[in-house]
């Protein structure tokens, strides 16, 4: 696959209706677990777009770049320059599309506290978002997708036939992060940064199906998602 920066399509190119299920939402809203389960149920390819941003944040840190807030223009330009030179592509692993960097899949490396703190800062850079939108749109080559993120239904695939926006109250989401062992993760800060960023903000699409799962079990939320998918994609 060619490096994404050389691809002719741009982040603002017109799109034909893709066979994509978009799942957006804030930290610990359940979108990761539910998206993977939905992809398995439908035999779609699962794409975790957050992992793509994490991969870049990890690579930037590995190369000694500063990824802290506030980020100076020179720091942003350094990240963009590195991104334009890295050899990154998306590959399928057991029905899931993951970003490989120089042929290597950074799995556990992108889940560290260091990367956790850097990724929302890197994700604010507009040229980074343009690059990632192109990379995410290119995933349609893998066939039908369940793609989770924060701007899938608004920026990446605004014509997706099914869009979900998962929500839960802040107290419940903090509990979920703690139960996972993410005691240092500050989901509220991350979400606030994403809600207020200039490009690809964390907001529900106007036609998204909004589901508050504060008081639902994962099984209950999954049943709601699956029923909506069947209603939208199954001919009457």
Taking Cα atoms as reference points, which of 57, 103, 106, 104 lies closest to residue 82? 57
Confidence of residue 76 (pLDDT cuts 50, 70, 90): very high
**Fold type of domain 18-231:** Rossmann fold (3.40.50)
- Whether residue 228 is predicted with pLDDT greater than 70 in this model: the reply is yes
- Whether residue 6 is predicted with pLDDT greater than 50 in this model: the reply is no
**Cβ pair 44, 143 in contact under 8 A:** yes
131 membership: H or E segment, kind and range: helix 126-137
Here the tokens at position 23 are 């799942």
Q: State mean pLDDT over 139-143.
A: 94
CA distance 166 to 148: 10
**Cβ pair 172, 166 in contact under 8 A:** no
Side-chain-side CA neighbours of 100 within 13 Å: the count stands at 13
Taking Cα atoms as reference points, which of 128, 31, 145 lies closest to residue 92? 145
Here the tokens at position 27 are 């930290």
3-class SS of residue 148: strand
Q: Are strands 88-93 and 96-101 parallel, antiparallel or unpaired?
A: antiparallel
Q: Residues with Cβ < 8 Å from 9, sequence gap 6 or more?
A: 134, 137, 138
Please report, in angstroms and rounded to a whole number, the separation of the first and last CA atoms in the chain.
39
Per-domain residue ranges for the chain? 18-231
Whole-number average pLDDT of the chain: 87
Confidence of residue 232 (pLDDT cuts 50, 70, 90): confident
Percent of the chain with pLDDT over 90: 73
- Write down the pTM of the prediction: 0.85
pLDDT, residue 111, reads 93
What is the C-alpha R_g of the chain? 17
Confidence of residue 185 (pLDDT cuts 50, 70, 90): low
CA distance 106 to 135: 17
Dihedral in degrees, nearest 10, Cα atoms 183, 51, 165, 229: -130
Confidence of residue 233 (pLDDT cuts 50, 70, 90): confident
Helices 31-42 and 218-233: angle between axes, nearest 10 degrees: 50
Taking Cα atoms as reference points, which of 133, 173, 148, 128 lies closest to residue 22? 148
Asked which of 98-107, 147-156, 170-179 is least confident by mean pLDDT, the reply is 170-179
Dihedral in degrees, nearest 10, Cα atoms 66, 69, 70, 74: 20
């Amino acid at each position: 696959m060619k490096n994404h920066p050389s691809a002719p399509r741009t982040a603002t190119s017109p799109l034909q209706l893709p066979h994509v299920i978009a799942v957006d939402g804030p930290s610990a809203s359940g979108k990761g677990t539910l998206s993977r389960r939905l992809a398995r149920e439908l035999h779609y390819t699962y794409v975790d777009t957050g992992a793509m941003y994490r991969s870049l944040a990890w690579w930037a840190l590995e190369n000694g770049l500063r990824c802290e807030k506030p980020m100076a223009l020179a720091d942003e330009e350094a990240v963009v320059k590195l991104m334009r030179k890295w050899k990154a592509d998306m590959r399928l692993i057991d029905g899931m599309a993951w970003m490989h960097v120089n042929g290597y899949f950074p799995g556990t490396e992108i889940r560290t506290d260091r990367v956790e703190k850097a990724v929302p800062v890197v994700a604010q850079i507009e040229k980074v978002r343009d690059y990632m939108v192109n990379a995410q749109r290119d995933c349609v080559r893998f066939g039908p997708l369940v793609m989770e993120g924060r701007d899938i239904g608004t920026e990446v695939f605004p014509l997706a036939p099914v869009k979900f926006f998962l929500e839960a109250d802040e107290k419940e989401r903090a509990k979920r992060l703690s139960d996972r062992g993410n005691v240092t993760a500050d989901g509220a800060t991350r979400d606030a940064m994403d809600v207020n960023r200039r490009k690809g903000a964390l907001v529900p699409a106007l036609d998204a199906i909004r589901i508050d799962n504060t008081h639902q079990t994962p099984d209950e939320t999954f049943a709601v998602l699956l029923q909506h998918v069947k209603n939208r994609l199954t001919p009457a």
